[in-house]
Amino acid sequence: MGETGPAPASPLAAKPNRRVARKRTWEDSRCATQSGGPYHWHHFSAPGATDDVWNEVVDAISTAVSARVRDPIVAARVASGFLGDIQGVLNQAAKGRLRGANRLFPIHQHPLVWELRWDFKKTGVFRLYHAEPTGHPQLLVSLWFHRKYTGGAYAEIKAAQDVEIGSAVNRYREGVKSAWGHTARCPHCPEP
């Protein structure tokens, strides 16, 4: 019986710096990783602007609720509940405690943009796109919030969604030089 000799070397052993590409999952997000946290949110703001992405969240939710609920007092209460749910998810994300692909999903690679999802049934489906910039390891940057269009054929829905994702990617690229409007004692970073 012959000897087999040493085991053949792994193709990766000869090139220790080579990375094996793999598809990202929700588990790769800071929002699901407690080890590097806690993190904090910064809501994108254009240079010199007073509004930020949180204003988009409030406007989108308020508009969607007002279209469905006629009584302004009831509408304000319903919107407040939805905003509380959104804030609760953002708080869990800042602690690295989000779990599951039904809530968190990578949607764009260069730059890497993540999607957070809410489904408020009759009121609508909503999306928040955010980035986790490598140069700012404690930062989660909300880039774009919208109510998802769901009223057409798959191709129409996908095309509308691609436009929204493009807006988030553009904000990332435009904002990278100014850290997306982030400053010391930033007015666009909610208190933890």
Mean pLDDT of the 171-176 span: 86
The ranges assigned to domains in the chain are: 34-181
Name the pLDDT band for 185 (thresholds 50, 70, 90).
confident
Q: How many residues does the chain have?
A: 192
pLDDT at residue 136 in the model? 83
Q: Which residue has the higher pLDDT, 100 or 144?
A: 144
In contact, 86 and 59? CB cutoff 8 Å: no
Distance between CA 186 and CA 192 in Å, rounded?
13
Q: Which residue has the higher pLDDT, 108 or 181?
A: 108
**Tens of pLDDT, residues 159-170:** 999 999 999 999
**Tens of pLDDT, residues 49-87:** 667 889 899 999 999 999 999 999 999 999 999 999 999
**Tens of pLDDT, residues 1-42:** 444 444 444 333 333 334 434 576 777 888 888 787 789 898
- Helix axis angle, 53-68 to 72-94, nearest 10°: 140
Q: Quick one: tokens of 75?
A: 């509408």
Q: Check pLDDT > 80 for residue 174.
A: yes
pLDDT cut 70: percent of the chain above it:
82
Distance between CA 4 and CA 137 in Å, rounded?
48
Beta bridge partners of 140: 41
Distance between CA 3 and CA 107 in Å, rounded?
51
Distance between CA 40 and CA 116 in Å, rounded?
15
pLDDT at residue 107 in the model? 86
In contact, 80 and 88? CB cutoff 8 Å: no
Q: Quick one: tokens of 117?
A: 């999802």
Distance between CA 168 and CA 4 in Å, rounded?
56
In contact, 113 and 168? CB cutoff 8 Å: yes
